Structure 1
Amino acid sequence: MDWLQVLILAVFQGLTEFLPISSSAHLILVPELTGWGDQGLAFDVALHLGSLSAVVAYFRQELARMARAWLASLSGAGVDRDARLAWWVALATVPVCIFGLLFRDAIALGMRSPLLIAAALIGFGLLLAYADWGQRGERSEYQLSLRDALFIGFAQALALIPGTSRSGITITAALLLGLSREAAARFSFLLSIPVIVLAGGLEAAGLIQQPQRIDWVALSLGTLLSGVSAYLCIHYFLAFIRRLGMQPFVIYRLVLGGWLLWAFWP
């Protein structure tokens, strides 16, 4: 990999992991449109590690409170709002784990078509627009119920389809349940932590089974760039949606999806 490829892929991963525009779609489309070869499992793991480091660093105080409260709940100290939120994050992760394991091969082999990505970008983009326009409320992530958490969790499983966007579909589901924009985004970001850990773990396992030559300099730079861009993305995204909402991302999804239909229609 050359340095331009490392830079572009790392920044794209860091930004699109948390924006509602689909990181998987961009990481599939960028190499296809540029003619670059596959970046390899090792680099994918490095990019995930960067994104994970960013979200953990940004929410470090909330995560520390949630971890303490969750451990206390296991010892019989009761369930406060931080422990309940930790439980909801864990339970909402279960559906994507189940569906990911069941359909991993089918997704990897059969769902990387630019036309399918275009359909997902447009369809789920319109759903995000509807949720942001008409269903927004003022509930916080601490007011979620078990049913709400499972609803968002099953919605998150749809993100296995490239072009859907994990953050986009979970924010959409949370908005439909009456969460505020900021609360929907915060819960989506917290949900990303176990998902990134599990996805990165699967990729790391594949890397162990199929060892390849590792460019440690490229991996280190990719991790750093992905982490920095992801951290900045989280910070500015939360401020941005407070003022302007989700519509700029909806427009981007519709334009990108429309261009893909035009470019790849047989």
Structure 2
Amino acid sequence: MEDLILLIKHLIIGLVQGVTEPIPVSSSGHVMIASEILGLGEQGFTFAILTNTASLLAVLFMYREDVMRLATNSLRYIRTKNRKYAADFRFVILIIIGSIPAGVLGVLLSDVIAENVSMTIIAIMLFVTGTALWIIRNMRGKKGDADLTAKDAFLVGLGQAVALTPGISRSGATIISAIAVGMKQDTALRFSFMLYIPVSLGGVVLGFSDFIHEPNKAALALPYTVTFIATLFMTYFALKWFMGIMKHGKLIYFTYYCFIVGTLLLIFY
């Protein structure tokens, strides 16, 4: 019976991670909240790698055509210098530039951030996320892929770096930053998740050794598998749903959600 309850709890955590990863409400914060409610305690680095990998695979599948085109045309441009491939090569360079802030700060400050997280901090950061979403709710940029600059990419990358703090949504911070620098809704969404791929992949690579040497992985193999599958599928469907939300410019709903959850955390924790 206890094993079944443990599986159900890990299923719920996987669903929470999957649903909240693509949308601007902070997946890390919600996983911490769900773990506290379910009595699972703080989830370790191995668990974070597991769920991150599942979400990464879902995002890669969703954007597989973009990823393949960008990778193939960038290699073609490097080999041939043919101008018809230059736009995709330039977009990849912008993704690299945008990935630098989170990559650097993630390496330097990950331990500090992990040691200074509480439900109060998550609540405050949810208010910050909700406020930022409120500010940009009516902004409609005009910049498409071809109009982006290195400065735009770096500023959006700074937003991603800020989102290393639980309670600050990664997708929210990058989309807010992208819209703030003048990107169109669809460009902001695509650039946000293109930025997610290298940073997430880097985290998986850097944490792979910890995952392999996890002392309890045999005992947790089944619960972790359940979590992985739940996260994988829910990230995919949540991202499809969020694309529709972005298309209709309804980010204001997430402002209300962040304020409600933040208030409940302050009241009960």
TM-score by length of 1: 0.91
1:10 to 7, 14, 31: 14
Give the count of matched residue pairs.
Answer: 262
The structural deviation recorded for 1:44 is 2.8
Residue 70 (structure 1) aligned with residue 64 (structure 2): no
2:41 to 7, 12, 37: 37
1:148-206 residue CA offsets vs partner (Å, 9 max, x unmatched) = 00111112110111111110000000010111222211111111111211222333232
Q: Kindly tell me: are residues 146 and 76 of structure 1, through their superposed partners in 2, closer, same or farther at Cα, counting changes over 3 Å? A: farther
Residue 138 (structure 1) aligned with residue 142 (structure 2): yes
Residue 82 (structure 1) aligned with residue 88 (structure 2): yes
Tell me what 1:115 maps to.
Answer: 120
The structural deviation recorded for 1:210 is 4.7
How do 1:177-188 residues align onto structure 2 when only pairs under 5 Å count? 177-188=181-192
The structural deviation recorded for 1:28 is 1.2
Whether contact under 8 Å (1:42, 1:219) holds in the other structure is no
Tell me what 1:229 maps to.
Answer: 234
Whether contact under 8 Å (2:185, 2:249) holds in the other structure is no
Q: Distance in 2 between matches of 1:15 and 1:36?
A: 19
Q: Distance in 2 between matches of 1:256 and 1:50?
A: 25
The structural deviation recorded for 1:244 is 4.5
The structural deviation recorded for 1:39 is 4.0
Tell me what 1:249 maps to.
Answer: 254
Q: AA paired with 1:224?
A: I
Whether contact under 8 Å (1:141, 1:184) holds in the other structure is no
Q: Distance in 2 between matches of 1:17 and 1:141?
A: 24
Cα RMSD (Å): 1.8
Q: AA paired with 2:257?
A: Y
Tell me what 1:100 maps to.
Answer: 106
The structural deviation recorded for 1:241 is 2.3
Tell me what 1:172 maps to.
Answer: 176
Q: Distance in 2 between matches of 1:147 and 1:73?
A: 23
Residue 61 (structure 1) aligned with residue 49 (structure 2): no
Q: AA paired with 2:35?
A: P
Query: Please, which runs of 5 or more residues in structure 1 have no aligned partner?
Result: none
- Of residues 194-203 and 151-160 in structure 1, the stretch that sits farther from structure 2 once superposed is 194-203
Q: Matched residue of 2:166: which SS?
A: coil
Whether contact under 8 Å (2:155, 2:177) holds in the other structure is yes
Q: Distance in 2 between matches of 1:75 and 1:85?
A: 17
Q: AA paired with 1:249?
A: F
Q: Distance in 2 between matches of 1:162 and 1:44?
A: 12
Residue 194 (structure 1) aligned with residue 198 (structure 2): yes
Q: Distance in 2 between matches of 1:175 and 1:236?
A: 19
Q: AA paired with 2:233?
A: V
The structural deviation recorded for 1:37 is 3.0
Q: AA paired with 1:96?
A: A
- Of residues 157-166 and 214-223 in structure 1, the stretch that sits farther from structure 2 once superposed is 214-223
TM-score by length of 2: 0.90
The structural deviation recorded for 1:82 is 1.5
Q: AA paired with 2:111?
A: D
Tell me what 1:213 maps to.
Answer: 217
Q: Distance in 2 between matches of 1:238 and 1:153?
A: 21
The structural deviation recorded for 1:43 is 3.3
The structural deviation recorded for 1:8 is 0.8
- Of residues 58-67 and 121-130 in structure 1, the stretch that sits farther from structure 2 once superposed is 121-130
Identity of aligned residues (%): 30
1:197-247 residue CA offsets vs partner (Å, 9 max, x unmatched) = 122233323234553333333333222211111111111111122225201
Q: Matched residue of 1:160: which SS?
A: coil
- Of residues 202-211 and 118-127 in structure 1, the stretch that sits farther from structure 2 once superposed is 202-211
